[in-house]
A and B are shown apart, each in its own frame.
Chain A
Amino acid sequence: MTLFSQNLRRPLGDILFLVLALILIVSSYLLLWRNADNQHQGHTADIIVNQKTIMTISLRQNKTYQINGYVGLSTLVVYNGKIRFSHSACSKKYCVLAGWHQLSGDTAACLPNRVLIRVNGTPKGFDVLNY
């Protein structure tokens, strides 16, 4: 190895080191921050009827559930990680108008029918959700 080549390998080694460091920084950003919103999303939901949890369902499926409540049927739709009331036997349909729910700790209730959905968990790093 000549003097020239010995001196050349050092800056190239430094460049390699910097490239690896850069890859580490970019990948950790992508891993920890880019999907920060997804970290707040729940993966399961409890279906509660008359204050009793009747089932815990996965939100990683596309399925429709018919739930027998206090005044009639409530229809719940699970689609693409989200859940909502699509129909309920109540008069004002606030539960249906409330739309999709996917944030951990979020709830939706059809109070006349006493049917309640709770997306399990809390947003990552928090104890409770205010809304």
Chain B
Amino acid sequence: MYRNTTTRSLTFTKPITFIIFSLHSCINRFHQVTKCLWWAVIPLLLLPGIVCANVEKPPSKIYHFRLLAFGTYIELMVTAVSQKKAHQFKQLVQGQFSTMHRQWHSTHNSVVSTLNQGLATKQWIPLPQSVQALLVRSKQLSILSHHRFNPAIGRLVNLWGFNNSLKPRSKPPTKKDINKLIQLKPQMNDLEFKSNLIRSHNAAVQLDFGAIAKGYAIDRVTTLLKQQGFKHFIINAGGDLKAIGRHPSRAWRIAIRNPVNKSQVIAGIIINNEEAVFTSGDYERYFIYQGIRFHHIINPLDGQPVHHTRSVTVIHTDATLADAAATALFIAGPEHWPAVATKMGIRYVMLIDHKGVIHLSEAMKQRIQLFKHKFLVHLVRLKLTPLK
């Protein structure tokens, strides 16, 4: 380099020439850089063409439908089908969901409400075919979750007023009333099955499938849809969903809402062919009494809403399991969720606790893309048996 003050004084005597030459030099350098980049870019430009040539593309149109069922808003997306077939898809889902809701709702004049009346008598009563499989699966998952997921606490849910949409509760029930129900210890273990009969050994057992019905319904409808030839679709029931197949040009992508700031997306997940994503949060159904928020996820052990957790997100191929596990892990909380997840066979878990710490299973860490947030992240290794 030949720099000295004399040179500068010479140059400044012709400022316009100097600027022009500088710009010229800048453009030259730009040409040199772009020339180099160009040789690097050519193979990159060719790559998508080579890749796309080997990928089978389904038709691009995605059909969207909306309906109300299960006390929630259901969004349907289906692709790689004709318009006529897409409408068949909607009709099929609507019919199935309406039927299941009528059968399983615990407070309307439903199959489950009749069953609950019979269980209170502690006598053998007929077990309706329409709820048999759901009941058996619920009992199995309740035991696996160490009874954190407990559909036998229907009375407790009613006491808090989170089930019956007509009776509002502006203040929590008394501790005396709660303890009276807790001491009776209603559990799924109290139920006994004999061919097509059922009885309860505990008159306090009242079934409420609120923490599993949505997942079970989605699984049943999904199986039916796949049998009908639908390969690429999403069923989103009030934010809990199952995605099958692919978007027309890529894998399905799911955004997870921030439970603390609802206007933000906290994370993204890419679906592997067929998976359910379920989130249990404290933000959906609640009331405020004397400045304290009482939400709808009740701990069956103490009868109180859980305060150590804000939300739990679970990914699993089985929507029924994902639904029940999201509730069970929410109740288990930041301390006990790894043990419950291991027992239930859940690999992908994200729990956000009341302090704002994100607890991630290591497998979930590999799957999830976390966006801008102010939370601490705590990684947990689960000792699960390898996938078969």
Q: How far is the CA of A14 from the CA of B285 in the complex (A)?
A: 61
**Which residues of B from 67 to 95 have beta carbons under 8 Å from A?**
67-68, 71-73, 75, 77
Known contacts A13-B25, A128-B77, A130-B254; is-contact A8 B66 (Cβ 8 Å): no
Closest to B256 in A: A130
| Interface contact B263-A114, CB-CB below 8 Å | no
Q: How far is the CB of B256 from chain A (nearest CB, A)?
A: 5
Chain A residues whose C-beta falls within 8 Å of the C-beta of B161 in the assembled complex: 92
A54 sits at the interface (CB 8 A)? no
Chain B residues whose C-beta falls within 8 Å of the C-beta of A86 in the assembled complex: none
| Interface contact A12-B262, CB-CB below 8 Å | no
Q: How far is the CB of A112 from chain B (nearest CB, A)?
A: 6
CB < 8 Å neighbour of A5 from B11, B67, B268, B277: B11
| Interface contact B255-A123, CB-CB below 8 Å | yes
| Interface contact B24-A13, CB-CB below 8 Å | yes
| Interface contact A122-B22, CB-CB below 8 Å | no
How many positions in chain A have a CB within 8 Å of any CB in the partner chain?
Answer: 53
Chain B interface secondary structure, helix, strand, loop or mixed? mixed
Closest to A94 in B: B285
CB < 8 Å neighbour of A37 from B29, B165, B264, B287: B264
Chain A residues whose C-beta falls within 8 Å of the C-beta of B175 in the assembled complex: none
Known contacts A118-B73, A127-B77; is-contact A106 B1 (Cβ 8 Å): no
Q: How far is the CB of A123 from chain B (nearest CB, A)?
A: 4
A20 sits at the interface (CB 8 A)? yes
CB < 8 Å neighbour of B23 from A16, A112, A128: A16
Contact indicator per residue, chain A 1-32, by CB within 8 Å of chain B (1) or not (0): 11111111111111011001000000000000
Known contacts A103-B265, A131-B281; is-contact A116 B26 (Cβ 8 Å): no
CB < 8 Å neighbour of B1 from A11, A41, A102, A112: A11
| Interface contact A3-B287, CB-CB below 8 Å | no
B279 sits at the interface (CB 8 A)? yes
Q: How far is the CA of A106 from the CA of B258 in the complex (A)?
A: 12
Contact indicator per residue, chain B 221-236, by CB within 8 Å of chain A (1) or not (0): 0000000000000101
B371 sits at the interface (CB 8 A)? yes
CB < 8 Å neighbour of B255 from A13, A94, A129: A129
CB < 8 Å neighbour of A91 from B67, B168, B254: B168
How many positions in chain B have a CB within 8 Å of any CB in the partner chain?
Answer: 68
CB < 8 Å neighbour of A130 from B8, B21, B240: B240
B6 sits at the interface (CB 8 A)? yes
Closest to A126 in B: B255
| Interface contact A106-B262, CB-CB below 8 Å | yes
Q: How far is the CA of A8 from the CA of B11 in the complex (A)?
A: 9
| Interface contact B26-A13, CB-CB below 8 Å | yes
Contact indicator per residue, chain A 37-51, by CB within 8 Å of chain B (1) or not (0): 100110000001001
Contact indicator per residue, chain B 344-385, by CB within 8 Å of chain A (1) or not (0): 000000000000000000000000000110000000000000
| Interface contact A92-B21, CB-CB below 8 Å | no
Q: How far is the CA of A13 from the CA of B29 in the complex (A)?
A: 8
A107 sits at the interface (CB 8 A)? yes
Chain B residues whose C-beta falls within 8 Å of the C-beta of A102 in the assembled complex: 263
Closest to A40 in B: B265
CB < 8 Å neighbour of B372 from A2, A16, A37, A122: A37
Listed by A's residue number, 23 A-B pairs whose Cβ atoms lie within 8 Å are A5-B18, A9-B24, A10-B25, A13-B25, A14-B25, A14-B29, A37-B372, A48-B66, A91-B168, A92-B165, A94-B286, A109-B73, A114-B68, A116-B73, A118-B73, A127-B252, A128-B241, A129-B254, A130-B239, A130-B254, A130-B255, A130-B277, A131-B281
4 A-B pairs with least C-beta separation: A13-B25, A4-B7, A131-B239, A126-B255
Other contacts beyond A8-B3, A94-B285: 17, CB < 8 A: A1-B21, A4-B2, A4-B7, A9-B21, A11-B3, A13-B24, A17-B26, A17-B30, A37-B372, A41-B263, A91-B167, A97-B288, A107-B238, A111-B71, A126-B253, A128-B255, A129-B257
